[in-house]
Amino acid sequence: MIDKQTKIRISLTVAFLVALSMAAVYSMHIHLSARKASDLQQLQMTASQEKTILLSAMMAGGIKWKKTMAIANVHATYADTPMTANLSGVLAIDTKENELYSSYLESDAKTDLAGLVKTHRADIEASQYLSLDTGTHFVTMVAAIDKKYDIVGYVAMAWLK
């Protein structure tokens, strides 16, 4: 027969082990949730980069020849599609940093895309594109190049997180 004091010790040990197991499971859940969120943000940033690179390639001719309507047509073609559902702002400028086209969502805080391009121009030219996380947006800036691989301008796009 087990005395009362031993029963209490066994009960407390079991309760402690159950609590410890629950804490371990909860800790793993938090770790995995944080990892999933990080993975999703990385995936979203990668998708934003790819879409900006694709659209900037389509805009390059309009930028080279300073044809605002050609740039606007590329943006308009994809503006209300699932591909650009989280697109917040678009900027196209020439190599002298003259704005050729810009469009921003009215419902979103305007990101200073021109300032970001100006600040990071050397990095963009060195690697063809640059992506930043501003906290509220993923911004991708791309050097628009022509068929001779000369830089003719820059495209920057802000994507809602």
Per-residue confidence (pLDDT) for residue 20, from 0 to 100: 65
Per-residue confidence (pLDDT) for residue 92, from 0 to 100: 98
User: What's the pLDDT tens digit per position in 8-54?
Assistant: 877 777 777 676 677 667 776 676 677 777 788 888 889 999 999 99
Q: Residue 156 — very low, low, confident or very high, per pLDDT cuts 50/70/90?
A: very high
- What residues contact 57, with CB distance under 8 A and at least 6 apart? 144
Distance CA 121, CA 143 (A): 9
Residue 61 has pLDDT above 90, yes or no: yes
Residue 100 has pLDDT above 70, yes or no: yes
Contact between residue 110 and residue 131 where contact means Cβ atoms under 8 Å apart: no
Per-residue confidence (pLDDT) for residue 160, from 0 to 100: 92
Q: List the chain domain ranges.
A: 44-160
User: What's the pLDDT tens digit per position in 107-153?
Assistant: 887 899 999 999 999 999 999 999 999 999 999 999 999 999 999 99
Place of tokens 């047509």: 73
Q: Which CATH class is domain 44-160?
A: alpha beta
Per-residue confidence (pLDDT) for residue 141, from 0 to 100: 98
Per-residue confidence (pLDDT) for residue 14, from 0 to 100: 72
Q: Residue 84 — very low, low, confident or very high, per pLDDT cuts 50/70/90?
A: confident
